[in-house]
Amino acid sequence: MATLARLQSRSAVIGNQYYFRNSVVDQFRKRENDAAIKIQSWFRGCKVRAYIRYLHKRVTIIQKWWRSYLGRQHYQLMVKIAYYTTKMNLYNTMAVRIQRRWRGYRIRKYFFNYYYLKEYLRAVSEANDAVREALADFSQTKEREEEKAKLEEEEKKRDYQARKMHYLLSTKQIPGIYNSPFRKKPDPWELRLQKAKPLTHKVPKVKQKSAINLDSWLACTSTRSFPRSEILPPINRKQSQGPFRDITEVLQQRYKPLERTLWMAEPIDELKEAREALRREEWVHNINDNMFLPFSSYHKNEKYIPSIRSSSKYRADSYGHQHFRDENPKKWINGKGFQTVLSSFDLFSNYGKLYSKAGQIV
Amino acid sequence: MSQRQVLQVFEQYQKARTQFVQMVAELATRPQNIETLQNAGVMSLLRPLLLDVVPTIQQTAALALGRLANYNDDLAEAVVKGDILPQLVYSLAEQNRFYKKAAAFVLRAVGKHSPQLAQAIVDCGALDTLVICLEDFDPGVKEAAAWALGYIARHNAELSQAVVDAGAVPLLVLCIQEPEIALKRIAASALSDISKHSPELAQTVVDAGAIAHLAQMILNPDAKLKRQILSALSQIAKHSVDLAEMVVEAEIFPVVLTCLKDKDEYVKKNASTLIREVAKHTPELSQLIVNAGGVAAVIDCIGSCKGNIRLPGIMMLGYVAAHSENLAMAVIISKGVPQLSVCLSEEPEDHIKAAAAWALGQIGRHTPEHARAVAVTNTLPVLLSLYMSTESSEDLQVKSKKAIKNILQKCTYLPALEPFLYDAPPNILKHVVGQFSKVLPHDSKARRLFVTSGGLKKVQEIRAEPGSLLQEYINSINNCYPEEIVRYYSPGYSDTLLQRVDSYQPLIK
């Protein structure tokens, strides 16, 4: 209780003290509160800031990681794309190369090839030159041939002329007109005349009777087309001296075709002619010209004529006539031949010779 | 009266008949006598003489009739109306060769005038007997019969078909193989006449094996035979590709070219016709000819002759060039263009000019290179003058216009185009300006030259309807140049300048 009593004794003091003390505290309370708040706020601010800083650090780490992840992903993509594009570019260039080659090849092969065309045109122009040359050659040779023929013709003509003028040739005594003594050299004609054979006297040509001039009947036809006088008069008949008619006329009279009158044109000896014709007909139809004769003696000396087409040298064998004994006559016992077994029929062998002329061969 | 006196009368009569017939035959050779003879009633007098008992009189009467009928178609018709043909046909089969020849001559003379007369001959049944005559031994008879058949067949396809149906073709082919030149000639001409009408007829001729024999004779020295041979081959080849190929397969090719050097003009003409007929079908056949050097030979041939003989050669060049650009190029390098332009300027006749213009158009229409080759030979002005000339025929004008158009549309050779700016009519000017508008944007030198040569000025002077093609071309040319230059060259520019001088306020300080 002492305590209580002490306390009670002191209560007044305490109360005073309490009051006093409270009032002092009250005096400082606001300041202190403010200061505390300040301190607290600062502290708390620091704390929060530290926390936030902490958080920021974490966030940065997270972001770093995330962004690096994203960045790597993007990078991967970029690389892929780049790789892909380069690859595609390469492929494209290669494809272009292939296409270029192929298209070039295809066009050259199937459509148009410049070098080929050039080559072709060159070949064509070469062919053209060759053809031109060949044709020129051809025409030249032809021309030359014609020229030659012409020259030959002229030469022939001149030869003929020379033969015709052969009498102008100079003799030992008298110089010819082509061999003038006042000139150094004789004319070339002189030499030609020397070479030429004089022309023989011309035989007056037998005038061909222009038989109604039938060759020109049809515009086109050859000389063979229509009839001329059928018998030609003999050539080279000389004119005989004397007061005779012109030989051509005479010959014409002599060889003129028979002009039968109308009366004569129809044959009067028809029967005779018919017989003749019949005979001829029969003759034509005979197979064998030889008369049939049954007698062996008439064919004795007949020689066998083999067919043209047979190749063997077949002929009638003389078997039975000679070869019954040894062929060598020295070995024969007697030199005589064999007697034929039967003597011939006289009657037959003499047939036609003794009794009558029937069956005789003319 | 004695028998002799009676017979004398007959004899006299016969003599008189012979003399009459011979005189008439003689008189009929002169054209001036024909009318008199006709008026004298020669037909009715000759007709009974055809049936005379004496063969000579028959023959001579037939000959006289033939000559009369040969003269003109009235007389030929009179022969038909006089019922002479059945007699002739009847005796054609019966009589000797001289008579056959004379009768065939009459048939030929009648049949040559018109299809109706030839039909009348066919109606008489003459064909069969004529065909029998073709088998005759005598070449003269064969010749006359082949000639008559050829004249009948030449009119139209039906008559030809009738001749073919009568079985003439194999015999004609046999006739070609005979040694006589005249017979060969006429048989070849008959084959040519038969095959010219239709592909079928030509095919029958080919089936008879004619081509090989015809082709063999190309080198024959006889010019007239060559003419007929070449004409027959070209008539066969003209119908279809197959037939042309058959002809080519007979290895005619290097050989025919020698005919182009022949002295005879008609041989040349027919040879070029043959080449043309072969070339016109396909590019391959043309190519074959080009490879054989045919183009060069034809060009030489064109150079060596004049007039109508050139025509087939010119057309052949056109056909070859029309097929493809390579072939056209081949024609160009064979020096065909100068030759054609020579033809174009030298030939007096319009149809040849027209053909040359056509051929040039075919050559120049393929590529700028071709057009240039044509343009450098200076043919375009000639073509233009032909087109503009009032004396040219319509066909020539059309052809030359078409050629100019074809060439211009490809031509990029400006020096040749330039003169056209000055003297071409508007419908051609359009193409010229079009070509300039295509070339100038891409060629700086040409642009410069175009200004200095005065082309630009000329272009500014052209009056074109706004919105037309020509105006468009002009605009595209103007776009190639700075505006001042275009304005400088426009007509009336000096006036506008002067106006500006007038309206200018001088600057005074």
8 A C-beta contact, residue B195 and residue B235: yes
Report, as an integer, the average pLDDT of B146-170.
Answer: 93
Q: How many residues comprise chain A?
A: 362
A115, A126, A128, A261: best to mutate for the B interface, most B CBs within 10 A? A128
Q: What interhelical angle do B223-237 and B265-279 show, nearest 10?
A: 20
Is residue B501 predicted with pLDDT exceeding 90?
no
Mean pLDDT of chain B: 90
Residues of chain A contacting B, Cβ within 8 Å: 117, 120-121, 124-125, 127-132, 134-135, 138-139, 142, 212, 217-218, 220-222, 224-227, 261-263
* Mean of per-residue pLDDT scores for chain A: 78
- The one-letter amino acid code at B181 reads I
Contact between chains at B300 and A132 (C-beta distance less than 8 A): yes
- The answer to whether A235 and A206 have CB atoms below 8 angstroms apart is yes
- When CB atoms are compared, the residue of A121, A217, A221 closest to B330 is A121
pLDDT confidence of residue A102: 93
ipTM of the complex: 0.79
Q: Give the distance from CA B177 to its chain's centroid.
A: 28
Nearest CA in chain A to B329: A121
Cα gap A133→A114, rounded to integer Å: 28
A139 to B261: CB separation less than 8 angstroms, yes or no: yes
Give mean pLDDT, residues A130-156. Answer: 93
Question: What is the torsional sign of CA A169, A173, A175, A181?
Answer: positive
> Min CA distance, B103 vs chain A (Å)?
11
Q: Do B296 and A127 touch (CB under 8 A)?
A: yes
Window 162-191 of B: residues touching A by CB (8 A cutoff) are 180, 182, 186
- A221 closest CB neighbour out of B7, B25, B140: B140
Residues of B in contact with A220 (CB under 8 A): 143, 147, 182, 186
Of A54-68, A266-280, B58-72, the range with the lowest mean pLDDT is: A266-280
pLDDT above 80 for B172 = yes
Q: pLDDT confidence of A217, banded at 50, 70, 90?
A: very low
Q: Do A28 and A102 reside in the same domain of the chain? A: yes
Write down the pLDDT at residue A214.
40
Q: Looking at the structure, do residues A103 and A117 belong to the same domain, yes or no?
A: no
Q: Contact B180/B217 with Cβ under 8 angstroms? A: no
- What's the pLDDT at A216? 41
Cα separation, B419 vs A170, whole angstroms: 79
Task: Give the gap in angstroms from C-alpha A270 to the nearest C-alpha of chain B.
Answer: 20
Mean pLDDT of B40-52: 86
Residue positions counted in chain B: 509
The tokens describing A35, both together, are 């200061």
Based on the domain organization, do A51 and A99 belong to the same domain? yes
Helix and strand numbers (H, E) in chain B are 35, 0
Minimal Cα–Cα distance from A286 to chain B, Å? 30
Q: Is B320 exposed, middle or buried (CB count within 10 Å of its CB: 0-12, 13-18, 19+)?
A: buried
Which residue does chain A place closest to B291, by CA atoms? A124
Provide the pLDDT for residue B110. Answer: 92
Instruction: Report the C-alpha gap between B151 and B107 in whole angstroms.
Output: 9
Q: Which residue has the higher pLDDT, B262 or A340?
A: B262
Q: What is the mean pLDDT of residues B387-408?
A: 91
pLDDT over 50 (residue A225): no
pLDDT at A141 over 90: yes
**Residues B443, B449: Cα–Cα separation, whole Å:** 10
Paired tokens of B356: 């040359």
Q: Let me know: does A223 contact A215? Beta carbons within 8 Å.
A: yes
Query: Region B93-116: what's the mean pLDDT?
Result: 89
Q: Tell me which chain B residues have a C-beta less than 8 angstroms from the C-beta of A226.
A: 98, 101
Report in angstroms the alpha-carbon separations of B57 from A359, B8, B81, B83: 54, 19, 22, 19
pLDDT 10s digits, B303-342: 999 889 999 999 999 999 999 988 999 999 999 999 999 9
As given in the structure block, the two tokens for residue A202 are 């011309």
Domain locations in chain B as residue ranges = 425-491
Cα gap A233→A145, rounded to integer Å: 39
Query: Residue A354: its pLDDT value, please?
Result: 58
* DSSP-assigned states of every residue in B380-404: HHHHHHHHH-SSS-HHHHHHHHHHH
Burial of B22 (0-12, 13-18, 19+ CB in 10 A): middle
Lowest-confidence range among A81-95, A174-188, B169-183?
A174-188
Contacts of A134 in chain B (CB under 8 A): 254
Residues of A in contact with B11 (CB under 8 A): 261-262
Residues A43 and A101 reside in one and the same domain: yes
Q: Give me the residue from A135, A212, A227 closest to B257, CB to CB.
A: A135
Q: Do B105 and A218 touch (CB under 8 A)?
A: yes
User: Is B329 close to A117, i.e. CB distance below 8 A?
Assistant: yes
For residues A27 and A95, membership in a common domain is answered with yes
Mean pLDDT on B42-67? 87
Number of C-alpha atoms within 13 angstroms, CB side, residue B275? 36
Number of domains in chain A: 3
* 3-class SS of residue A360: coil
Closest CA to B414 of B460, B386, B376: B376
Mutate to test the interface with A, among B220, B263, B333, B334 (most CBs of A within 10 A): B334
| Interchain proximity B334–A117, CB inside 8 Å | no
User: Is residue A65 a part of any domain in this protein?
Assistant: yes
d(CA B357, CA B380): 10
Mean pLDDT value across residues B119-127: 91
Please check whether residues A52 and A99 belong to one and the same domain.
yes
pLDDT band (50, 70, 90) for residue B1: low
Q: Say if the Cβ atoms of A131 and B139 lie within 8 Å.
A: no
Q: Provide the domain limits for residue A169.
A: 165-200
Q: Look at A255 and B494; give whichever has higher pLDDT.
A: B494
Q: Is B333 in Cβ contact with A226 (below 8 Å)?
A: no
Q: What is the CA radius of gyration of chain A?
A: 78
Chain B residue with the nearest C-alpha to that of A111:
B326
Domain assignment of residue A214, yes or no: no
Q: Which residues contact B356 (CB under 8 A, 6 or more apart)?
A: B314, B340, B341, B343, B344, B347
Pick the residue from chain B with its C-alpha nearest to A264: B7
The whole-angstrom distance between A169's CA and the closest CA on chain B is: 42
Which of A109, A125, A149 is where one domain is finished?
A109
CA terminus-to-terminus distance, chain A:
228
Tell me how far apart the alpha carbons of residues B294 and B274 are, in angstroms, rounded to a whole number: 11
**Nearest beta carbon to residue B258 from set A138, A212, A221:** A138
For tokens 């016109």, the residue is: B280
**Nearest residue of chain A to residue B288 (CA atoms):** A124
Q: Are residues A89 and A56 in the same domain?
A: yes
Q: Spell out which residues of chain A touch residue B295, defining contact as CB-CB under 8 Å.
A: 124, 128
Which chain A residues are closer than 8 Å to B147 by Cβ?
220
User: Can you give the C-alpha Rg of chain B in angstroms?
Assistant: 34
List alpha helices for A113-208, DSSP H.
114-164, 188-195
Say yes or no: A104 and A119 in one domain: no
| Of residues B238, B359, B371, the one with CA closest to residue B302 | B359
Decide if A66 is inside a domain: yes
